């Protein structure tokens, strides 16, 4: 039988690096050129979501003012801390003020999990080589 050169540890590390890159893009570059402002959560709606464990998802609608014009839009992410009346920071695209980002920690999660998996796998590989 041939000795296989396939190393699953390296594949895991490659996927972890991809997660880190995706997280960095979401966190640092997706909203490049956006301006920051304050917004108030005006409603939280339950919507049907077949991919959610309980088949229900939540969407928070915010109200904010840009150049004297009041805008309303749904956040790109929701967390249990989204309560009606709460003031939050958002970022909006000056070319299209209805395009907003706010409250999303997804990029940070990708980087944290990717980093943990990458370095965990690296430690396992180093320990294997010492044996």
Other beta carbons less than 10 A from residue 92's beta carbon: 22
Task: Output b/e per residue, 42-64; b: 16+ Cβ within 10 A.
Answer: eebeeeeeeeeeeeeeebbbbeb
> According to the model, what pLDDT value does residue 6 have?
65
Instruction: Work out the mean pLDDT of the chain and round it to a whole number.
Output: 87
Give the confidence band of 1 by pLDDT, cuts at 50, 70, 90: very low
Q: What is the largest CA-CA distance in the chain?
A: 74
* For the chain, the helix, strand and coil percentages under 3-state DSSP, each to the nearest 5: 35, 35, 30
Q: In this predicted model, which residue has the larger pLDDT, 108 or 120? A: 120
Q: Give the predicted TM-score (pTM) of the model.
A: 0.64
Residue 38 has pLDDT above 80, yes or no: yes
User: Tens digits of per-residue pLDDT, 59-87?
Assistant: 889 999 999 999 999 987 777 778 899 99
Q: Which of 77, 95, 107, 86 is nearest to 43 (CA)?
A: 86
User: Tens digits of per-residue pLDDT, 85-107?
Assistant: 999 989 999 999 999 987 567 78
> What is the C-alpha separation between 23 and 105, in angstroms, rounded?
9
Residue with tokens 């790109």: 76
- CATH 2.40.50 for domain 8-130, yes or no, is yes
CB 39 within 8 A of CB 95: no
């Amino acid at each position: 039988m041939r000795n296989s050169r396939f190393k699953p540890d390296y594949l895991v590390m490659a996927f972890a690096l991809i997660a880190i890159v995706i997280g960095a893009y979401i966190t640092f570059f997706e909203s490049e050129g956006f301006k920051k402002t304050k917004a108030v959560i005006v409603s939280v709606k339950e919507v049907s979501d077949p991919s959610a464990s309980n088949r229900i998802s939540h969407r928070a609608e915010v109200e904010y003012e840009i150049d004297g014009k009041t805008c309303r839009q749904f956040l790109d992410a929701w967390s249990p801390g989204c309560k009606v009346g709460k003031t939050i920071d958002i970022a909006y695209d000056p070319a299209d003020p209805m395009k907003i980002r706010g409250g999303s920690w997804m990029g940070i999660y990708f980087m944290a999990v990717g980093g943990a998996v990458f370095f965990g796998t690296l430690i396992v590989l180093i320990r294997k080589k010492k044996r």
